[in-house]
Amino acid sequence: MRCSPTEFAATKLENTLVAPMEGFSGCKPEFIRGARSRGTIMNDAEVLRLRNLRNIALRARSLARSLESDSAHDPVLARGAVVCWTIARIATGRLRAHPYLSYQKGHGPLRALADRLLASLVALPARRANRCLSVFALQLQAVARAVDDVRALTWSPDLSDALGRMQIQIHRLANELELGALGESGATIKPRVQATVCAEAGDSLNQLSDENNWPYMAI
């Protein structure tokens, strides 16, 4: 097994209190039930992706709260903060299910303080230039990429469903931010589909309907 008996016993006692272990491979516990174990295994790569997702989401939430404090677009930024907070909670809940205690650590107070300071530095010039929505839209794109990355590579159906619902909310919020950013820049917002019919075309259609009298319609 390539490990000392004491190391093996310490690993067993440390993790039995967190999650029951049903099989062993080397020094690390593994779930070895084949197809039934799909979605319960969490490797180191997924842990890193979840931590990265949580950090990006909380950083975006701090930025939204800093921009929301002195902005005319409070509802959009408030919804953005809620979406980012929900994504961070989803990632934290998944990490708490890991059998290793060291992998269950949350977002530390020092990192939270650094996020608030960074958000304040970014929000100050954005408010002066009236680009609050544009700046937050860029940060939301980073959150969306992290969500796509985690969902594409996870084996957990529950995590995939939860992130899928968040993707829908992110897309809706991104559309609102795009329209708001155009308004901030002073650009004219044009409708994507122009449903306009000129009068001449309407007259020509009426003439065609009068001239074309199909024989079988008179029966």
Which pLDDT band holds residue 134 (cuts at 50, 70, 90)?
very high
- For the chain, the maximum distance between any two Cα atoms, rounded to a whole number of angstroms, is 97
Q: What pLDDT, on the 0 to 100 scale, is given for residue 44?
A: 83
The answer on pLDDT for 14 being more than 70 is no
Stretch 187-203: mean pLDDT: 48
How much is the pLDDT for 2?
57
**Range from 71-85, 88-102, 125-139, 184-198 that averages highest in pLDDT:** 125-139
Provide CB contacts within 8 A for 14, sequence distance 6+.
100, 101
Instruction: Please state, as a whole number, how many other Cβ atoms lie within 10 Å of the Cβ of residue 172.
Output: 12
Domain regions of the chain by residue span: 1-37, 41-185
Q: Which residue has the higher pLDDT, 7 or 21?
A: 7
CB burial of 14-48 (b: ≥16 within 10 Å; e: otherwise) equals ebeeeeeeeeeeeeebebeeeeeeeeeebeeebbe
Confidence grade of residue 27 (pLDDT, cut at 50, 70, 90) = very low
Class of the 41-185 domain?
A: mainly alpha
* pLDDT for residue 215 is more than 60: no
Instruction: With a cut of 50, say whether residue 109 has pLDDT above it.
Output: yes
Alpha-carbon distance 159 to 140, whole Å? Answer: 20
Q: Tell me the percentage of the chain whose pLDDT exceeds 70.
A: 62
Question: Which of 24-38, 45-59, 111-125, 142-156 shows the lowest mean pLDDT across its residues?
Answer: 24-38
How high is the pLDDT of residue 3?
Answer: 55
The model's confidence at residue 184, banded by pLDDT at 50, 70 and 90, is confident
Amino acid at 48: L
The reported pLDDT for the residue numbered 105 is 77
b (16+ CB within 10 A) / e for 177-186: beebbeebee
